[in-house]
Amino acid sequence: MDASAARSILAIDLGGTQIRAAHVSPDLRVTCRRAVATNDEEGVESVIERVQTLGREVLGDALQGGLEPPVGIGISSPGPLDPWRGVVLAPPNLAGWHDVPLAAKVGSPLELPAFLERDTNVAMMAEWRYGAARDAHDAVYVTVSTGIGGGIIANGRPLIGLDGSAGEVGHLTVELDGPDCGDGSPGHVEAIGSGTAIAREGRALLAAGVAPELAALASHPADVTAELVGLAADAGDTACRAVLDRAWLALGAMCAGLVNLLNPEVIVLGGSIALHRPELKDAVRREIDRRAFPLPARRVRVELAQLGDDVSLIGLLPIVNDRLQDPAYAKEHS
C-alpha cells in the first residue's frame, strides 16, 4: 500500500468479551470509539446485530463530525476464519459460531465493502507497518495472553496460507506427551505457556496443597488466574515459580524453532502476559541463543509490542486499503 494513498476506514474488533469500533484515519488517529459487551451466550444473530449497530453508530458519528467518509470496513475476529471469503469458521471463544459470513452481514447494511482478518494477523500488521517490526522484511508476531497466537511476515508480505491459518504458532508441539491443548492435541505450546495453562497448573498446585503463597492469595481454585500464579511466584512460591519457568521455556523453545524455520529479523512479543512479565522476553532470548542456528539467532531481535490495545483497530487500516487496491478485488467488483 502506498501510505499517501490510504483512506480512512471503519474498524471493528470482535473479541470474546468486547466488541469495539472506531474510525481510523491514515494518520492513525482512532476516533469515534464505541464498545459493547459481546455476550456471545445470547447467540450468533444477536452478536451480529450488536456489531452492525456499533458500526452504524460509529459511521454516523464520523460523518456528523466531518471526518473523511470510510472507504471500507475492517473486522478483526478470533480465528479460525476464511479471510478471502470473509467467513468466521468456528472460533473456540465465540460460542455457537460456525461458518458465519460476517463480512457480508456487516458490509451490506452499511453499503461498504467489508473485510475480515484474524485478530493476531491484524495485530501483526499494525506492529509491522507502524510498531516494533516496522520496515522488517521478515518478522514474527507472538501474542501471549489467555491463549497464544501469532502472525508472520515473510519476504515482505503477510503469510496467510491456503485456509488463512498460517501463523498459528500457539499450536506448535513442544512436548510430545504434554498436556492436551483446547483443540485436543497433546503438547501444544498453548497448553503449557498460555495464561489458561498457567492458571490450570496453579489450580492443581492449590488442590495438592503445595503452593503456600498462592493459597494465601486465592482461597478457592476457581479464583486462580495466571496473574495470581505470577504474584505468588514473585512472593517466593517455588512451585508457582516452576510453573512459570516451564511456560517461559516452552515459549522460548517455540521461538527458537521459529528462528530456525523463518530466519526473521525480529520477533515481536505482545499480549498481556508478555507485556507484564519482562522475564518472558529474557527467556525467549536465552532459548533462541541456546537452541537456534548461531547466525540467525545472533541476528534476530526480540522486541515487545509497541502499540498497545489499539493494534486490533489500527492494523485494519492497511488491510482494508490493501485489499481494495488488490487487482483481484478490483476485477471482481468492476
Least distance to Zn ion, CB of residue 148, Å: 9
CB of 189 to Zn ion, least distance (A): 8
Nearer to Zn ion, 180 or 245 (CB): 180
Contact between 277 and Zn ion (CB under 5 A)? no
171 or 241: CB nearest Zn ion: 171
Return the DSSP state at 169: G
Instruction: Provide the minimum distance between the beta carbon of 147 and Zn ion in the complex, in angstroms, as a whole number.
Output: 9
Find the shortest distance in angstroms from Cβ 237 to Zn ion. Answer: 28
Can residue 241 be called a binding residue for Zn ion (CB under 5 A)?
no
* Closest to 233 measured CA to CA, from 189, 286, 277, 281: 277
- DSSP codes of every residue in 80-137: SEETTTTEE---TTSTT--SB-HHHHHHHHHTS-EEEEEHHHHHHHHHHHHSTTTT-S
Within residues 161-180, the interface with Zn ion by CB under 5 A covers 171
Q: What are phi and psi for residue 25, nearest 5 degrees?
A: -100, 165
Rank residues 149 and 318 by Cβ distance to Zn ion and give the closer one.
149
CB of 150 to Zn ion, least distance (A): 12
Closer to Zn ion by CB, 50 or 171: give it: 171
* Cα 262 to Cα 242: distance, rounded to the nearest angstrom: 30
- Residue reference for cell 512436548: 175
Q: Does 251 bind Zn ion (CB under 5 A)?
A: no
Of 192 and 244, nearer to Zn ion (C-beta) is 192
CB of 266 vs Zn ion, minimal distance in Å: 25
Find out whether 88 and 97 touch, Cβ atoms under 8 Å: yes
- Residues 194/93/37/163 CA torsion (nearest 10 deg): 110
Size of the site for Zn ion (CB under 5 A): 4
| Binder of Zn ion out of 135, 163, 183, 279 (CB under 5 A) | 183
Residue 213 neighbours by CB under 8 Å, 6+ apart: 231, 232, 233, 235, 236, 237, 240
Among 181, 189, 214, 251, binds Zn ion (CB under 5 A): 181
Please list every residue from 104 through 143 that binds Zn ion, using CB under 5 A.
none
Q: Is 212 helix (H, G, I), strand (E, B) or coil?
A: helix
- Eight-state DSSP code of residue 269: E
**Closest to Zn ion by CB, 165 or 263:** 165
Q: Using the rule CB under 5 A, which residue among 20, 188, 203, 277 binds Zn ion?
A: 188
| Residues near Zn ion, by CB under 5 A | 171, 181, 183, 188
